[in-house]
């Protein structure tokens, strides 16, 4: 078994090296962020996976973000014109337990089941090794990853021992006996999305059920249409307060900060419609999660995250199984300079990672400047209104148009000053006498909106005040604890929050240009890309301060962006 | 005639009322809610409640229903939950693509199918009949998406001659005629996919009707009168087979508006079929309700039209 494990690890390392070699050589490890280097980005909208595959081979696109079909990955990997980058993602696929139902309320049973899961085998047999095995609540791509003492690795002998010692002995028919009832364990139902909707999830569920079955724990797989499954997991019976499932498989896309340890497992979210669907209620865990939710400093956040992960591993509300990788494909005969960002990929999440957009260039351009590149978009964005955006496609476009106050180092995921060159975190006393955070940002000089109007501290204040007034649901984390802002000068602003939390540092935004948005009363119906700019010809009201300027969107066909000639970081 | 027309109109409105009511109930019976499709670990119950309020889904069903009927009467379907655009505008913006794709496919399919049907019916039992009938059954039995993918692979990759997505190049060429050419080039594969999978049915339908008609007594009488084969075929047999063909034509017409969900998705065409699919998957109630209302009206109107035209092409039909 040990030999097999070593072999799989070796295979994965070899595979990752092969996959990343091209990208590293193309990018030369550089991510100076002094671009953008290309004149234009055209984003063809292609909804069908076969057409997308053909489009990259035909050279109709240069960048194919988030390639997820193993057959496509194999084909692209074999094509000398194409480079693939494989970056660990901030993601978790897992099997969850209903902790409020017998016999799954027994942590020993959950732990033993976790030891039965051979993640490496699943990763290779179901995904051809294109995902990473995951055994913890936070993936290794996160800076908050903590190797816990209680991690349940694959160890069937240990599982057998744990079960036997706890009284879950096998009966004559091979099914284990529940020590609390002295009867054979009831058949547990494992809910999964259907094969049609999510073939890999369904396949993993079937294999897990088989594994548990072989170990004497009867499990039956029930496939449900995705919305039905979500409904089943989220809803609590109004009379009994119970959720109607035993086990389920699902996945979450995660953030750089492990706040999911709070929102998915704190007992306050064990409510009807809440995301704590496992029903985890543990006072010690709640205390650690609360510290993580409201840390005063980054150090406190790290400590709280580690503590929460330790308790979480012992409680085992989920069995983590794998973490997705972002596999991005590039036509290396045409473009170079793409940057892999741990947790976000090289081209999959421009909103969280600006590096590839800033660094990419055409190989056929003198000095690597100029030219046009084609960056695939899977579907039409909804609105291109940053306040009403709910889809990843929208974020892909908006990420090229807007900059954030703080970004992340692509190698370490640590904070990287951006529109805010520095910030100081302090506290203040709110009107109600509570303690709150106040963060003072120093903004970069020379930043302008796409229409040439300077970006100032007044825009930050306006953004926060506007959000507080309009309360867009998708940005609740930004406005819910916001109190007010004080502008000290054009480039210095203090933002006051009613609660103390280090995370407020990242909540602050300065993405609404006051001179455009101050006239917008109904933000939901505002279609900034459809309205011409009041003063500058050729622009619309969709203006940001990012490296690319919005030019054109033909719904269903393509989006066209051009280089921001006065981009504040651009050198030359 | 007036009474008949009014009666039909009354039935049409009654049917429409039933359809829009079922439309309202059906999608609310679907598991989950529009906000459940926003999957994020940070999406708290409070945020979901806020979103439900914004969408007007926190109101009791009878109030939602009343508002829905009021909106339908004024052709105001509200704004899509997903895009925040007025549903009516979205439907209208997608209509030209769908009309162009399915209108041209339908026209080619009907003309070719009927022509081939006449051709093989007049050569019943010949090698042509065997080959064409066999082909019709073969392609008719193939799923439409498979034909589309096959064409995509062959003509989009191995013989790299046609575009594989969208309705225009990105960006399109400048000048009127280059744009028209570009548009036509983009239409070839999707139109071919629809025509290949559907032309067989039209051919078989025409052939079978004609073959039955050609064996009728009045055809034998016409032949005995010494009329030419061509005259018998076109002047007597085809004319007699025309009413069911015309009915089929009008009953198939709504398909031009409802869109080809699969083909529009495969070829990334911004049409009504794709809109309907996305709206259903995202439980975008205003979009679904608007799209289905649109389709229901189209189907009912075409049925009505079929009734009237049937009467025109077949004088034996009388209104009572």
Over residues A461-484, the pLDDT tens digits come to 999 999 999 888 778 778 889 999
Across chain A, mean pLDDT equals 89
- DSSP letter at A38 equals -
CA distance A252 to B221: 76
Q: Both tokens of residue A210?
A: 């088989």
Backbone angles phi, psi at A102, to 5 degrees: -75, 150
Residue A221 has pLDDT above 60, yes or no: yes
CB distance B194 to B109 below 8 Å: yes
Interchain CB distance below 8 Å, A227 and B283: yes
pLDDT in tens, B59-75: 888 888 888 888 888 87
Is A264 within 8 Å of chain B by CB?
A: yes
Residue B317 has pLDDT above 90, yes or no: no
Q: Which of residues 267-286 of A touch B (CB under 8 A)?
A: 269, 271-275
pLDDT in tens, A159-183: 999 999 999 999 989 999 999 999 9
Residue B262 has pLDDT above 80, yes or no: yes
Q: Is beta strand A91-97 parallel, antiparallel or unpaired with respect to A183-184? A: unpaired
Partner residue opposite B165 with nearest CB, options A51, A275, A527: A51
Partner residue opposite A473 with nearest CB, options B47, B157, B165: B47
Q: What is the mean pLDDT of residues A95-115?
A: 95
The residues near B131 (Cβ < 8 Å, ≥ 6 apart) are: none
The chain A residue lying nearest B39, using CA atoms, is: A252
Partner residue opposite B266 with nearest CB, options A45, A48, A60: A48
pLDDT at B40: 63
Partner residue opposite A259 with nearest CB, options B42, B82, B274: B42
Task: Classify A551 as helix, strand or coil.
Answer: strand
Confidence of residue B1 (pLDDT cuts 50, 70, 90): low
What percentage of chain A reaches a pLDDT higher than 90? 68
Question: Which one of A280, A557, A559, A560 makes the best mutation probe of the B interface by having the most chain B beta carbons within 10 Å?
Answer: A557
pLDDT at B32: 67
Backbone angles phi, psi at A336, to 5 degrees: -150, 170
Instruction: Give the DSSP letter string of B49-86.
Output: HHHHHHHTTTS-HHHHHHHHHHHHHTT---B-TTT-SB
Q: Which residues of A touch B262 (CB under 8 A)?
A: none
Partner residue opposite B84 with nearest CB, options A253, A471, A524: A524
Residue A317 has pLDDT above 80, yes or no: yes
Residue A91 β-bridge partners: A253
Q: What is the mean pLDDT of residues B116-127?
A: 90
Residue A365 has pLDDT above 80, yes or no: yes
Across chain B, mean pLDDT equals 85
Q: Is the dihedral of CA A502, A287, A115, A177 positive or negative?
A: negative
> Which helix (H) or strand (E) is A494 found in, with range?
strand A492-497
Interchain CB distance below 8 Å, A225 and B36: no
pLDDT in tens, B271-301: 888 888 888 877 788 888 888 888 888 888 8
Q: What is the mean pLDDT of residues A249-261?
A: 89
Interchain CB distance below 8 Å, B79 and A263: no
Question: CA-CA distances (angstroms) from residue A115 to A191, A208, A329, B75?
Answer: 20, 12, 36, 59
Residue A88 β-bridge partners: A325
Partner residue opposite B84 with nearest CB, options A231, A232, A388: A388
pLDDT at B249: 85
Q: What is the mean pLDDT of residues A140-164?
A: 92
Interchain CB distance below 8 Å, A228 and B31: yes
pLDDT in tens, B147-178: 999 998 898 888 888 998 999 998 899 999 99
Place of tokens 């309202």: B24
Q: Comparing A569 with B49, which gets the higher pLDDT? A: A569
Side by side, the strands of the sheet bearing A132-133 are A132-133, A318-323, A91-97, A247-253, A188-193, A219-224
CA-based nearest residue to A382, from A535, A553, A538, A222: A553
Task: Classify A477 as helix, strand or coil.
Answer: helix
Query: Where does residue A417 rank: exposed (0-12), middle (13-18), buried (19+ CB within 10 A)?
Result: middle
Residue A497 has pLDDT above 80, yes or no: yes
Q: What is the mean pLDDT of residues A318-332?
A: 94
* Chain A nearest CA to B168, separation (Å): 7
Q: How many residues are there in chain A? A: 572
Q: Which residues of B touch A555 (CB under 8 A)?
A: 93, 270
pLDDT at A460: 96
Q: What is the mean pLDDT of residues A185-203?
A: 90
pLDDT at A382: 78
Q: Which residues of B touch A227 (CB under 8 A)?
A: 30-32, 36-37, 283
Query: Where does residue A71 rank: exposed (0-12), middle (13-18), buried (19+ CB within 10 A)?
Result: exposed
pLDDT at A26: 38
Q: What is the mean pLDDT of residues B197-219?
A: 90
Q: Which of residues 213-252 of B touch A (CB under 8 A)?
A: none
Q: Is the dihedral of CA B281, B283, B287, B290 positive or negative?
A: positive
Q: What is the mean pLDDT of residues B131-154?
A: 90
Partner residue opposite A230 with nearest CB, options B36, B79, B93: B36
pLDDT at A149: 84
pLDDT at A82: 96
pLDDT in tens, A290-304: 999 999 999 999 999
CA-based nearest residue to A185, from A241, A121, A126, A106: A106
Q: Which residues of B touch A225 (CB under 8 A)?
A: 31
Interchain CB distance below 8 Å, A46 and B165: yes
Is A40 within 8 Å of chain B by CB?
A: no
Confidence of residue A24 (pLDDT cuts 50, 70, 90): very low
Across A13-27, A393-407, B16-30, which has the greatest mean pLDDT?
A: A393-407
Q: Which residues of A touch B156 (CB under 8 A)?
A: 51, 54, 58
CA-based nearest residue to A321, from A124, A186, A87, A107: A124
Interchain CB distance below 8 Å, A231 and B40: no
Is B85 within 8 Å of chain A by CB?
A: yes
Residue A567 has pLDDT above 90, yes or no: yes
Residue A447 has pLDDT above 90, yes or no: yes
Q: Which of residues 427-446 of A touch B (CB under 8 A)?
A: none
The residues near A35 (Cβ < 8 Å, ≥ 6 apart) are: A357, A358, A359, A360, A361, A547, A567, A569, A570
The chain A residue lying nearest B157, using CA atoms, is: A54
The region of weakest confidence among A130-144, A192-206, B290-304 is B290-304
What percentage of chain B reaches a pLDDT higher than 90? 24
The residues near B263 (Cβ < 8 Å, ≥ 6 apart) are: B101, B144, B145, B148, B190, B193, B194, B269, B273
Q: Which of residues 56-115 of A touch B (CB under 8 A)?
A: 57-58, 60
**pTM greater than 0.90:** no
Q: Comparing B99 with A6, which gets the higher pLDDT? A: B99
Residue A407 β-bridge partners: A416
Partner residue opposite A263 with nearest CB, options B41, B166, B170: B41
> Which helix (H) or strand (E) is A229 found in, with range?
helix A226-234
Q: Which of residues 226-245 of A touch B (CB under 8 A)?
A: 227-228, 230-232, 234
The chain A residue lying nearest B97, using CA atoms, is: A556
Task: Classify A193 as helix, strand or coil.
Answer: strand
CB distance A130 to A77 below 8 Å: no
Q: How many residues are there in chain B? A: 320
Residue B15 has pLDDT above 60, yes or no: yes
Cα A181 to chain centroid distance, Å, stands at: 42
pLDDT at B25: 86
């Amino acid at each position: 078994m040990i030999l097999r494990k070593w072999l799989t690890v070796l295979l994965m390392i070899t595979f990752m090296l092969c996959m990343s070699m091209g990208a590293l050589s193309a990018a030369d490890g550089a991510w100076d962020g002094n671009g953008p280097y290309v004149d234009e980005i055209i984003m063809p909208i292609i909804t069908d996976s076969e057409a997308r595959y053909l489009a990259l081979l035909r050279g109709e696109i240069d960048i194919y973000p988030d390639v997820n079909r193993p057959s496509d990955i194999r084909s692209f990997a074999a094509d000398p014109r194409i480079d693939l980058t494989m970056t660990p993602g901030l993601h978790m696929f897992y099997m969850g337990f209903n902790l409020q139902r017998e016999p799954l309320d027994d942590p020993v049973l959950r732990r033993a089941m976790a030891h039965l899961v051979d993640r490496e085998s699943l990763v290779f047999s179901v995904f051809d090794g294109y995902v990473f095995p995951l055994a913890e609540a936070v993936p290794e791509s996160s800076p908050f990853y903590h190797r816990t003492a209680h991690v349940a690795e694959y160890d069937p002998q240990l599982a057998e021992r744990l079960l036997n010692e706890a009284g879950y002995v096998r009966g004559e028919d091979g099914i284990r006996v529940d020590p609390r009832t002295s009867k054979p364990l009831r058949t547990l139902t494992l809910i999964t999305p259907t094969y049609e909707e999510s073939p890999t999830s369904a396949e993993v569920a079937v294999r897990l059920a088989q594994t548990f079955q072989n170990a004497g724990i009867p499990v039956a797989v029930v496939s449900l249409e995705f919305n039905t499954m979500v409904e089943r997991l989220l809803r609590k019976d109004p009379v009994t307060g119970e959720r109607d499932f035993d086990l389920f498989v699902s996945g979450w896309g995660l953030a750089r900060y492990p706040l999911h340890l709070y929102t998915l497992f704190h007992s306050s979210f064990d409510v009807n419609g809440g995301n704590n669907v496992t029903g985890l209620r543990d006072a010690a865990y709640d205390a650690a999660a609360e510290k993580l939710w409201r840390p005063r400093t980054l150090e406190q956040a790290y400590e709280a995250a580690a503590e929460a992960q330790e308790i979480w591993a012992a409680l085992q509300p989920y069995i983590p199984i794998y973490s997705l990788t972002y596999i991005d494909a590039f036509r290396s005969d045409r473009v170079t300079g793409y940057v892999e960002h741990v947790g976000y990929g090289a081209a999959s999440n421009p909103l969280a990672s600006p590096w590839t957009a800033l660094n990419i260039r055409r190989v056929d351009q003198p000095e690597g400047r100029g030219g046009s590149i084609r960056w695939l978009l899977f579907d039409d964005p909804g609105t291109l209104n940053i306040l009403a955006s709910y889809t990843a496609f929208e974020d892909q476009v908006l990420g090229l148009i807007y900059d954030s106050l703080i970004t992340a180092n692509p190698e370490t995921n640590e904070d990287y000053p951006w529109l805010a060159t520095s910030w100081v975190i302090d506290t203040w006393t709110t009107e109600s006498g509570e303690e709150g955070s106040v963060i003072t940002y120093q903004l970069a000089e020379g930043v302008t909106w796409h229409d040439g109007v300077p970006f100032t501290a007044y825009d930050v204040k306006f953004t926060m005040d506007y959000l507080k007034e309009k309360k867009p649901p998708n940005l609740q984390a930004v406005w819910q604890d916001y109190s007010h802002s004080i502008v000290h000068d054009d480039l210095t602003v203090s933002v006051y929050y009613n609660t103390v939390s280090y995370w407020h540092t990242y909540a602050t935004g300065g993405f609404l240009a006051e001179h455009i948005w101050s006239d917008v009363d109904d933000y939901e119906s505002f279609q900034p890309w459809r309205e011409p700019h009041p003063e500058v010809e050729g622009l619309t009201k969709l203006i940001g301060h990012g490296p690319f300027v919005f030019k054109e969107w033909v719904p269903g066909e393509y989006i066209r962006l051009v280089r921001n000639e006065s981009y504040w970081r651009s050198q030359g | 005639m007036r009474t008949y027309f009014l009666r039909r109109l009354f039935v049409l409105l009654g049917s429409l009322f039933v359809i829009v009511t079922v439309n309202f109930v059906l999608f609310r019976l679907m598991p989950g809610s529009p906000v459940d499709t926003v999957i994020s670990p940070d999406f708290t119950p409070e945020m979901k409640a806020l979103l439900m309020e914004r969408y007007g889904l926190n109101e009791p069903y009878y109030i939602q229903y009343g508002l829905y009927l009021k909106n339908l009467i004024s052709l105001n379907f509200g704004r899509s939950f997903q895009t925040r655009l007025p549903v009516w505008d979205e439907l209208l913006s997608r209509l030209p693509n769908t009309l162009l794709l399915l209108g041209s496919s339908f026209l080619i399919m009907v003309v070719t199918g009927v022509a081939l049907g006449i051709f093989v019916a007049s050569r019943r039992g010949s090698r042509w009949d065997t080959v064409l009938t066999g082909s019709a059954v073969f392609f008719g039995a193939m799923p439409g998406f498979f034909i589309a993918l096959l064409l995509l692979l062959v003509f989009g990759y191995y013989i790299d001659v046609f575009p594989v997505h969208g309705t225009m190049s990105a960006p399109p060429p400048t000048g009127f005629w280059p744009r028209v050419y570009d548009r036509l080039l983009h239409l070839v594969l999707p139109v071919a996919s629809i025509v290949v999978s559907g032309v067989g049915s039209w051919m078989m339908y025409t052939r079978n009707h004609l073959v039955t008609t050609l064996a009728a007594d009045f055809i034998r009488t016409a032949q005995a009168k010494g009329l030419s084969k061509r005259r018998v075929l076109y002047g007597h047999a085809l004319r007699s087979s025309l009413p069911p063909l015309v009915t089929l034509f009008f009953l198939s017409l709504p398909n031009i508006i409802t869109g080809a969900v699969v083909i529009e998705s495969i070829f990334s065409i911004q049409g009504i079929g794709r809109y309907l699919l996305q709206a259903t998957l995202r439980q975008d109630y205003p979009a679904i309700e608007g799209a289905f209302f649109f389709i229901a009206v189209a189907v009912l109107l075409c049925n009505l039209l079929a009734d009237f035209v049937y009467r025109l092409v077949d004088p034996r039909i009388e209104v009572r």
